[in-house]
């Protein structure tokens, strides 16, 4: 369990808002536009902004050569798989349900942490994982038939979520002695080059000038996602225990579902409202601070 500082809580709220409403925005951006190219343009526009943030805050860019291999590994599992598969999958899935599938990540992260990294989770943590998993099931309740007819999109989102979960665990344990902003910049640069290569190889013949709505989605992703949300997430993933950082972002798919319903006209059911309560319960179970050791020591003893 972990108590968030005021700064961490503020960043978490902003992260939830930016990433939550981004799902219908992404859906709009890739509707009728090549998805890999969309993501590539977003990253090329966001990368200079991220560099300016480092310069403004006087954060050194240097990553020691001894850590280049680990940096590449972090980029692959935190960004390569996620940004490639998620942007392809959202073309065939509704924005809200794509967000739900993507945010099975906390459940994957808890299982990876416990089984692979011998991370010991308390009863409350496992209860939070169970509540989050049940919330995801409820949110997908009315979509099973639709999703079963689109297995490729579902599979891509689940692979993206599981690799992101592993990347979160690796980020938490990184030995790179560098600021998170610098790590984020180089990971974003590597991913931008990777997405550019995929765009040239698979979508060059489909390249067109983006329409005004697509440009709006591109700018939002460039500034909101790559220059802000991605950096904030890596900071939280590095500073907080994995179970706290992962389950604390479970409000993002909930916001994605409701913003998609408001913007794209997706129908909401009682399961969606029940899922909101379960997700909030999951967050509370992992973030509500336990009774402090000092309080236990100070408590009067019987006899």
Which one is predicted more confidently, 18 or 126? 18
| pLDDT band at residue 299 using 50, 70 and 90 as cut-offs | very low
| pTM for the whole structure | 0.81
Mean pLDDT of the chain: 82
C-alpha span between 79 and 76 (Å, rounded): 6
- The pLDDT value recorded for residue 247 is 60
pLDDT by residue (tens digit) across 118-164? 777 677 777 777 877 787 777 666 666 665 656 788 788 889 988 99
* 301 domain residue, yes or no: no
| Residue 69, domain extent | 6-289
Within-domain flag for 52: yes
Q: Is the pLDDT of residue 39 over 80?
A: yes
| pLDDT score, position 53 | 92
> CA-based diameter of the chain, in Å?
82
Q: What angle do CA 21, 24, 28 make, to 5 degrees?
A: 135
Residues in the chain: 303
Average pLDDT over residues 21-27: 90
Highest mean pLDDT among 127-136, 227-236, 281-290, 293-302: 227-236
Q: Is residue 294 part of a domain?
A: no
Q: Which of 65-79, 131-145, 252-266, 272-286 has the highest mean pLDDT?
A: 65-79
Lookup: tokens for 77: 């599992």
Least confident of 28-32, 101-105, 164-168: 101-105
Q: Please check whether residue 203 lies inside any domain of the structure.
A: yes
Does residue 57 belong to any structural domain of this protein? yes
Which band of pLDDT confidence, cut at 50, 70 and 90, is reported for residue 77? very high
- What are the tokens at 156? 């891509």
Q: Is residue 297 part of a domain?
A: no
Task: Check if the beta carbon of residue 226 is closer than 8 Å to that of residue 51.
Answer: no
Q: How far apart are CA 108 and CA 105, in angstroms?
A: 5
pLDDT digits (tens, 9 = 90+) for 242-258: 556 566 666 777 787 77
Which tops the pLDDT comparison, 149 or 224? 224
Residue 216 lies in a domain: yes
Tokens of 44: 């090329």
**pLDDT value for 298:** 37
**Contact yes or no for 64/177 (Cβ under 8 A):** yes
Number of domains observed in the structure of the chain: 1
290 three-state secondary structure:
coil
Backbone φ/ψ region at 129: left (φ over 0), alpha (ψ -120 to 50), beta: alpha
- Residue, of 296 and 10, whose pLDDT is higher: 10
Q: 35: pLDDT confidence band, cut at 50, 70 and 90?
A: very high
C-alpha 78: how far from its chain's center?
9
The answer to whether position 166 is within a domain reads yes
Residue 276 corresponds to which tokens in the numbers above? Answer: 């909101």
The residue ranking higher by pLDDT, 5 or 78, is: 78
Name every residue whose Cβ is closer than 8 Å to that of residue 200 and which is 6 or more positions away in sequence: none
Q: What is the pLDDT of residue 158?
A: 84
């Amino acid at each position: 369990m972990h108590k968030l500082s005021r700064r961490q809580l503020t960043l978490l709220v902003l992260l939830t808002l930016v990433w939550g409403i981004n799902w219908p925005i992404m859906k709009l951006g890739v509707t009728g536009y090549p998805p890999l190219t969309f993501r590539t343009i977003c990253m090329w526009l966001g990368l200079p902004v991220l560099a300016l943030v480092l310069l403004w805050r006087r954060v050194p860019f240097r990553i020691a050569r001894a850590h280049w291999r680990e940096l590449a590994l972090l980029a692959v599992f935190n960004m390569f798989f996620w940004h490639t598969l998620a942007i392809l999958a959202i073309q065939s899935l509704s924005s809200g349900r794509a967000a739900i599938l993507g945010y099975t990540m906390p459940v994957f992260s808890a299982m990876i942490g416990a089984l692979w990294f011998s991370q010991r989770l308390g009863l409350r943590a496992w209860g939070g994982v169970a509540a989050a998993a049940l919330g995801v099931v409820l949110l997908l309740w009315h979509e099973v038939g639709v999703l079963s007819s689109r297995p490729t999109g579902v599979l891509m989102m689940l692979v993206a979520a599981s690799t992101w979960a592993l990347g979160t665990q690796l980020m938490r344990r990184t030995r790179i002695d560098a600021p998170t902003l610098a790590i984020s910049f180089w990971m974003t640069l590597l991913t931008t080059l990777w997405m550019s290569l995929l765009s040239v190889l698979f979508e060059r013949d489909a390249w067109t000038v983006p329409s005004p709505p697509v440009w709006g989605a591109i700018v939002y992703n460039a500034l909101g996602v790559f220059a802000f949300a991605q950096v904030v997430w890596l900071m939280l993933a590095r500073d907080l225990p994995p179970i706290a950082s992962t389950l604390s972002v479970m409000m993002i798919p909930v916001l994605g579902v409701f913003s998609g319903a408001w913007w794209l006209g997706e129908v909401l059911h009682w399961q969606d409202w029940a899922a909101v309560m379960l997700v909030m319960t999951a967050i509370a179970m992992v973030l509500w601070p336990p009774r402090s050791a000092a309080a236990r020591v100070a408590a009067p003893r019987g006899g």
